[in-house]
Structure 1
Amino acid sequence: MSNDLDIPDEVAGDPTFDEVMRVWIAQDSVVTMRDIFGPEGDNWGMVIADVAVHIARMRLEQDDIPMSETFAAIESGYQGRMSNYHHLDYSSLSRKH
């Protein structure tokens, strides 16, 4: 039994598409990436934001969870993970400092 996700038709039909990332969750997370952005690191931030929007839409459609609630949960998880990796103390990205 395969757990692979299908390539969406709108992507498969576009000859200019680029796959930039795959993520697997097992005992440890494994990520493979291909850097198509070069030194433009802020583009990865846009990819992360786009992924967050897709997650929020999925949760809204499947479980009627408001997108704002999902964004808050994603931000909290992101801050916690970054704090663990870098011993940082983050304040909310959504509040003015």
Structure 2
Amino acid sequence: MDEFVAGAHQDCCTNEGERKSHHSDKMKSNLISRLNRIEGQIRGVKGLIEKDTYCDDVLNQIAAIQSALNSVGKLLLEGHMKSCVIERIQAGDQEVIEELLVTVNKLMK
């Protein structure tokens, strides 16, 4: 996860009052590729349902999609923690901890 090296980016969390991320081009490309594959998998599941495919086969495809989405979430969370969260804590913003805990709880449901 070298894309999130401290000091290698601009102020991550705010830009004229708007919160934004600052992923490297490599990371963006990786995330977009993963999401494109997931999108294709979802279309595939839709096709399986339209073809009345055996339920267990469809459920296994859904499990694969969930796993792929979890992987994307883990990458984003790691980058967020290594960049925005650290920067905001260093700037004295302790609210980021509560925000992070809420997000992690949502991811773990």
**How does the TM-score come out when normalised to structure 2?**
0.34
In our comparison, the structure showing a higher alpha carbon Rg is 2
Higher RCO, 1 vs 2 (CA within 8 Å, ≥6 residues apart): 2
Structure with the higher helix share, 1 or 2? 2
